[in-house]
Amino acid sequence: MPNTLQQYAETQPISQATSFTSADTTVAKSILSNPGQPARVDNIIVVTDDTAAVNVDIFLRTVSTNTFLGSINVPAGTGHAGVAPKEFFTAMGLSNFQGLNLLPTQSLQAGLEATMTAAKTTVVTVLGGLF
């Protein structure tokens, strides 16, 4: 929990990976379930083995409302064959980002802007921790 100096320390790590395939079409789905207590998201990493670029939209979900945080373009083959994964916050120009704090009622969702190539997968991994 936060102390009187407003400093935060993560007590339990969170790591949740969610796969997207062509069957998911463009419907947003959970990439970080509601933790039920305050949490911080340190990074969102995206990789794909698709032969075409993939655009992934990230949303902050509060109860039943999605708020758009941003879209990340993931080039074909990102995260494979020596190509670095894409980091959402860095792609948004937030290189000094210190973390996204979530309330107990908030979660994260992601959706693809277009249906992926058949038999290909995009994986969105959320890293963070509980307070």
Q: Tell me: the pLDDT tens digits for 57-109? A: 999 999 889 999 999 999 999 988 888 999 999 888 877 778 899 999 999 99
Number of domains within the chain:
1
Could you tell me which residues come within 8 angstroms of residue 68 by beta carbon, excluding any fewer than 6 positions away?
A: 57, 58, 59
Q: Is the pLDDT confidence value at 3 over 80? A: no
User: Is residue 106 assigned to a domain?
Assistant: yes
Share of the chain above pLDDT 90, in %: 71
Q: What pTM does this model have?
A: 0.89
Share of the chain above pLDDT 70, in %: 94
Question: For the domain that residue 46 is a member of, what is the CATH number?
Answer: 2.60.290
User: Is residue 30 assigned to a domain?
Assistant: yes
Instruction: Identify the domain containing residue 104 by its residue range.
Output: 24-130
User: Is residue 12 assigned to a domain?
Assistant: no
User: Is residue 31 assigned to a domain?
Assistant: yes
User: Is residue 15 assigned to a domain?
Assistant: no
Are 59 and 44 contacting, i.e. CB atoms less than 8 angstroms apart?
no
